Chain A
Amino acid sequence: MTLLLEVDDLSVSFGDTSAVRGVSLSLAPGERVAVVGQSGSGKSTTAHAIIGLLPGSGRVTGGAIRWRGEDITHAEERRLRRLRGREVGLVPQDPMSNLNPVSKVGRQVAETLLAHGMSTRRQAWRHAVDLLGQAGIPEPARRAKQYPHEFSGGMRQRVLIAIALACRPDLLIADEPTSALDVTVQRQILDHLEALTDELGTALLLVTHDLGLAVDRTSRVVVMSEGEIVETGPVRQVLTEPRADYTKRLVAAVPSLTAAREPVADTEPVLEVVNISKEYRIRGRGGVLRAVDDVSFTVGRARTTAVVGESGSGKTTIARMVLGLVHATSGTIRLDGAELDGLRGDGLRAARMAMQPVFQDPYASLNPMWTVERVVAEPLRTLGSADRATRRARVAELLDQVAMPQSMAHRYPNELSGGQRQRVAIARALALGPRLVVCDEPVSALDVLVQDQILGLLSELQRELGLSYLFISHDLAVVAALAHEVLVMRNGAVVEHGPVAQVLSAPTEPYTRQLLDAVPGASVFDGSIVVPR
C-alpha cells in the first residue's frame, strides 16, 4: 500500500530559532492520526510545513515531505497551490478569525471550487450551497448569502469544514479544530466531521493538545514536545502504557472524571448565595436578558463549590456578583453572615479582605508595568496597614507559599511563564489571609502539565490554610479534581446541584449527562484505567 503522506526527518526553523527537529510521520490513505502536544511543541508548525504555509520567517531546513511518493518539500508555488485545497484540506483552529469578514460565506466556499476548476462559475454557488448543507448548516441557501459575523462559532467551524472538504481532498489536516468551542458543540462538529471523512474516505491528521480527542477520534498518535517526537504508536497503547517519560507525565496530569472526591462532612458556610439573578436590558428592543436566573448555593469553610457550564451559562457573572464587580438585580449574597449588598466603608473593607479573586488569564490579570513584588503587595497597601518592611517580609512568605523562588520578586510579568503568573496571582489573593478565594477559570489558559501543578497547589493551600473556594470552570474533569460540591448551569439557571461524586457519576439531568458524554475520551475508557480529558 502506498503511503499518502510521508514526513521524513523534517526540521523547521524560524530565523535562527529551531522549531521542529527530526520529525518523521506517515499516513496511509483513509488513516486517522493525531499529533498531540502542548503549546510550543511544534505540532502546528509541522502541519503548516506540510502544505508549504509556514508563517513569517519559517523555513524547512532539513528532511523531506513526500505526497504519494512525490517530494514536495521545496515544490514550486504552482504545485503547492494544486495540493492545497484540492489534495489536502485544512480546518484551522479559531473559527472566529479564519473567515474573511467582508465576504459572503457561500462565496468563500465557491472560491475554493473555482480555484481548482471543480465547478463552473455558473454552478459554483449552487454547489457551495450543497456543501454547506452537507456540513450541517440549516437553510444553506439562505445562510450562504450571509456574512461570517452572522454565524455562531460552531456554525463558522462547519463553514470551514465545508471549505476544507469542498474539493474532496485525500487528506484533511485539522489544526485544533474545536479548541475554541464548548464541549457539546465540539462533539457535534467532530461527529459530523468523522461522518463526512468516512464517506469520502479522507485521511485525517488531527493536531490537538487534548489527549482525550486523540483517543476518541484517531487510531494512531504522535506525541510531540519541544519540537521533537517523543513517542508514537497506537493510541490506546500510548495512553495506557506510555513508554516515554514525557508521555507518562502527560497522561498522569490529565485530570480524571473518576477522581471525584468522596463526600465529606459539611462545614459552616462562609459564602451564602440566595436567589440571585442578574438581568441585562437588551439595547433598543426593550427586552431583558436573564444572564443569571435565581441561583442559590453555599460555600463551606475549607470546602470548594464549583460552578460548571458552557459559554453563556452565566457562571462568570456569578463570580463577578460575588466579588462585587457586578450588581445583582435581585437576591442576597452573604459573606460570614454579613450581607454584601450596600456595604460601605469599614464593612466593605472587611468583606474585601475576606474574599479575593484569581482570574482566568494569567497574561491579563497582572499589571504588566509592575514587578511581582509590587503586584503581590498591592492588597497589603490598599487594605492593610503594614509598613514597607513588613510588606516585603509578607511578600517573601507568600512567594514561598506558592513555591516561587524569591529571585522572582523583582521580575516583571512578561518575564514569567503562564504557570508562574498564575502562582503570582494566587499569592496576591492570599496576601491578606482571605477566607474565600473566587477562582474564575484559573487553569483553563494553561497547558495540562502546568494545570495539574496549579490544581495541586490550590488543594494544598486549601488543606493548609482552611481556604474556601468558589471555583468557576467549563471543564468537568478539572472540577472533579478539586470540588466538593458542584452546580451545573445552563442559560443562567442551575440544572443540577449536589456533591461532586454524585453529580459526576450519577447525574439526574439529561444535560449533565450530555456534558459528561461530550468530555473527550470519556466514552473510550470505562473509568477503570485513566480518563483523559
Chain B
Amino acid sequence: MVRYTFHRLWQSALTLVLASIVVFIGVRLLPGDPATAMAGEEADPETVAAISAKLGLDEPIPVQYLTFLGNALRGDFGESVRTGTPVDEMVGATLPVTVQLAVYAMLIAVLAGMAFGVVAAVFRGRWPEWVANGFSLFALSVPTFWLGILAVLYLAVQLGWFPASGYVSPFSEPLRGLYYLTLPAVILGMTHAAVVQRQTRASMVDTLAADFVRTARAKGLSRGAVVFRYGLRNSLIVVTTIVGLQLGGLIAGAVVTERIFGLPGIGKLTLDSVFTRDYPVIQAVVLVITAAYIVINLLVDVLYTVIDPRMRVSGRAR
C-alpha cells in the first residue's frame, strides 16, 4: 500500500510538471504580446522592449519556463499585467471562495445523489424509481447555468428567498455565509448529483443482483440488511471514484456559477484574466486548478485502497 501510494505520488508529480509545461506554452500561444498589452497600444518600441526585459520575455523559452517554475514553487507567480497586484495575492483571495462553493456543492451532490440512487435501486420498477431517475435526467439535460439565471430572477429577486448575488465568508459569519452560498451550490451541484445518482443506482442494481447477495439472503438476512450492509458499502467504492472525477468538473463549473451569482472566486478571476490577456494570472489560475484536480484524484486513489480491501493486498504482501 505504501509502495502504491509512492507510485501514485510520483505519477502525480510528473503529471503536474507536464501540466505546467502545457500551461506555460499554452499561455505563450495566446494571441497578442503581453509587453505591448502592458505598455499600451501607442507605446514606443523602447518602452515595450524595457517591459519585455523586465518580465524576462527576451530570454529563451526554456529559461523562461525554469524561472517560472522556480518562482511558482515558491508561490511567486509574478504580478498582474493589468493591476500590478501580486498574482499569489489574487489567487489567495479568490481560491477559498471557490473551494467553499465546490465542497458545499459536492456535499449536496453526494447526499442527494446517493439518496436518489438508493431509492431508484431499491424501488426498481415502481414510482419512486421514476421520480429519482426523472430528477437525474432533468438535471443532466437542462443547462444548469440557465436554471441559475432563472433562480436568481425568481427565487432571489422576485421572491427574495435568497440573496441575488454577493459573498460573505462562512468563517466570519457562518450562517449568513452559508445562506449566500446555498443557491449557487445547489445549482452547481445539480449535474453532479445526477451523475452520483446514476452511478449509485447502477452499482446498487449490480450488487443486488450479485450472487453473493443471493447467498446472503439464503443465510436468512433480511432485504433491508442486504441493501444497506451489502449494496451501499459496495456502491460507496464507485461513488468515491466518481467524486474524484467530478470535483475537477465542479471547479470548472464554478467559472459559470460564479459569473451568474457574482461570486468573487477563482472562476471569475479566470474569465477576467482570459478576456484581458493577463497572462501571469491565467498561468497561475489554470495551474492552481489543475494542481487541485491532480491532488484530489491522488487523495481519492489512496482513499480507494482504504475502502476496497481488494486494493490492499498487493501492498500488504510486500
Seen from chain A, the residues whose Cβ lies within 8 Å of a Cβ on chain B are 51, 53, 55, 77, 81-86, 89-90, 92-94, 97-103, 111-112, 115-116, 147, 149-150, 160, 163, 167, 284-285
Size of interface on B: residues with Cβ below 8 Å to A? 26
Which residues of A lie under 8 Å from residue B234 when comparing CB positions?
100-102
Contact of A116 among B211, B220, B223, B308 (CB under 8 A): B220
Whether B219 sits at the interface, judged by CB under 8 Å, is yes
Q: Which of B184-237 contact A (CB under 8 A)?
A: 209-212, 214-223, 225, 229-230, 233-234, 237
Contacts A100-B230, A149-B309 known; A115 to B221 CB distance under 8 Å?
yes
Find out whether the CB atom of A84 lies under 8 angstroms from the CB atom of B220. Answer: yes
Find out whether the CB atom of A101 lies under 8 angstroms from the CB atom of B309. Answer: yes
Find out whether the CB atom of A94 lies under 8 angstroms from the CB atom of B211. Answer: yes
Find out whether the CB atom of A98 lies under 8 angstroms from the CB atom of B313. Answer: no
Alpha-carbon gap, A147 to B317, bound state (A): 14
Contacts A150-B313, A284-B318 known; A99 to B220 CB distance under 8 Å?
no
Which residues of B lie under 8 Å from residue A160 when comparing CB positions?
215
Find out whether the CB atom of A102 lies under 8 angstroms from the CB atom of B309. Answer: yes
Whether B310 sits at the interface, judged by CB under 8 Å, is yes
Contact of B212 among A98, A149, A284 (CB under 8 A): A98
Which residues of A lie under 8 Å from residue B318 when comparing CB positions?
284-285
Alpha-carbon gap, A101 to B234, bound state (A): 9
What are 14 sample pairs from A and B whose C-beta atoms fall under 8 A apart? A51-B218, A53-B218, A77-B222, A83-B220, A85-B218, A85-B221, A99-B215, A100-B230, A103-B229, A103-B233, A111-B221, A112-B220, A115-B221, A149-B313
Find out whether the CB atom of B220 lies under 8 angstroms from the CB atom of A100. Answer: no
Find out whether the CB atom of A53 lies under 8 angstroms from the CB atom of B212. Answer: no
Find out whether the CB atom of A163 lies under 8 angstroms from the CB atom of B219. Answer: yes
**How close is A83's CB to chain B, nearest CB, in angstroms?**
8
Q: Which of B236-265 contact A (CB under 8 A)?
A: 237
Main secondary structure of the interface of A (DSSP, over half): loop
**How close is A515's CB to chain B, nearest CB, in angstroms?**
29
The winner among B210, B215, B218, B310 for most chain A CB atoms within 10 A is B218
Alpha-carbon gap, A285 to B318, bound state (A): 8
By beta carbon, the residue of chain B nearest A78 is B222
The winner among B211, B222, B318 for most chain A CB atoms within 10 A is B211
- Additional A-B contact list (7), CB under 8 Å, known A84-B220, A94-B211: A51-B218, A83-B220, A85-B221, A89-B218, A97-B211, A115-B219, A167-B220
Alpha-carbon gap, A93 to B212, bound state (A): 11
By beta carbon, the residue of chain A nearest B213 is A100
Contact of B219 among A101, A112, A284 (CB under 8 A): A112
Find out whether the CB atom of A53 lies under 8 angstroms from the CB atom of B217. Answer: yes
**How close is A246's CB to chain B, nearest CB, in angstroms?**
29
By beta carbon, the residue of chain B nearest A89 is B218
The winner among B215, B221, B229 for most chain A CB atoms within 10 A is B215
By beta carbon, the residue of chain B nearest A86 is B220
Alpha-carbon gap, A532 to B270, bound state (A): 76
**How close is A166's CB to chain B, nearest CB, in angstroms?**
8
**How close is A217's CB to chain B, nearest CB, in angstroms?**
21
Alpha-carbon gap, A285 to B221, bound state (A): 42
In the A-B complex, the 10 residue pairs with the smallest Cβ-Cβ separation, listed nearest first, are A85-B220, A90-B218, A97-B211, A85-B219, A147-B309, A112-B219, A84-B220, A98-B215, A115-B220, A98-B211
Which residues of B lie under 8 Å from residue A84 when comparing CB positions?
217-220
**How close is A152's CB to chain B, nearest CB, in angstroms?**
14
Alpha-carbon gap, A86 to B210, bound state (A): 22
By beta carbon, the residue of chain A nearest B221 is A115
Find out whether the CB atom of B214 lies under 8 angstroms from the CB atom of A147. Answer: no
Alpha-carbon gap, A327 to B110, bound state (A): 49
By beta carbon, the residue of chain B nearest A112 is B219
Contact of A92 among B218, B223, B308, B309 (CB under 8 A): B218
Alpha-carbon gap, A150 to B309, bound state (A): 10
Alpha-carbon gap, A141 to B307, bound state (A): 23
Find out whether the CB atom of A90 lies under 8 angstroms from the CB atom of B215. Answer: yes
By beta carbon, the residue of chain A nearest B225 is A115
Find out whether the CB atom of B219 lies under 8 angstroms from the CB atom of A102. Answer: no
Contacts A102-B234, A163-B219, A284-B318 known; A149 to B214 CB distance under 8 Å?
no
Find out whether the CB atom of B215 lies under 8 angstroms from the CB atom of A111. Answer: no
By beta carbon, the residue of chain B nearest A113 is B219
Alpha-carbon gap, A86 to B219, bound state (A): 8
Alpha-carbon gap, A149 to B316, bound state (A): 13
Which residues of B lie under 8 Å from residue A89 when comparing CB positions?
218
**How close is A158's CB to chain B, nearest CB, in angstroms?**
14
Alpha-carbon gap, A127 to B220, bound state (A): 18
Contacts A102-B308, A149-B309 known; A92 to B219 CB distance under 8 Å?
no
By beta carbon, the residue of chain B nearest A90 is B218
Which residues of A lie under 8 Å from residue B237 when comparing CB positions?
102
By beta carbon, the residue of chain A nearest B233 is A102
By beta carbon, the residue of chain B nearest A169 is B220
Alpha-carbon gap, A85 to B216, bound state (A): 9
- Quick one: CB contact mask for B283-318 with A, threshold 8 Å, 1 for yes? 000000000000000000000000111100100001
By beta carbon, the residue of chain B nearest A160 is B215
By beta carbon, the residue of chain B nearest A285 is B318
Contact of B214 among A92, A112, A150, A167 (CB under 8 A): A92
- Quick one: CB contact mask for B138-151 with A, threshold 8 Å, 1 for yes? 00000000000000
Find out whether the CB atom of A97 lies under 8 angstroms from the CB atom of B217. Answer: no
**How close is B217's CB to chain A, nearest CB, in angstroms?**
6
Alpha-carbon gap, A299 to B318, bound state (A): 43
Alpha-carbon gap, A116 to B225, bound state (A): 13
Alpha-carbon gap, A99 to B215, bound state (A): 8
**How close is B279's CB to chain A, nearest CB, in angstroms?**
45
Alpha-carbon gap, A85 to B221, bound state (A): 9
Q: Which of B109-151 contact A (CB under 8 A)?
A: none
By beta carbon, the residue of chain B nearest A81 is B220
Which residues of B lie under 8 Å from residue A285 when comparing CB positions?
318
**How close is A148's CB to chain B, nearest CB, in angstroms?**
9
Which residues of B lie under 8 Å from residue A163 when comparing CB positions?
215, 219
**How close is A90's CB to chain B, nearest CB, in angstroms?**
4
Alpha-carbon gap, A100 to B214, bound state (A): 10
Which residues of A lie under 8 Å from residue B218 when comparing CB positions?
51, 53, 84-85, 89-90, 92
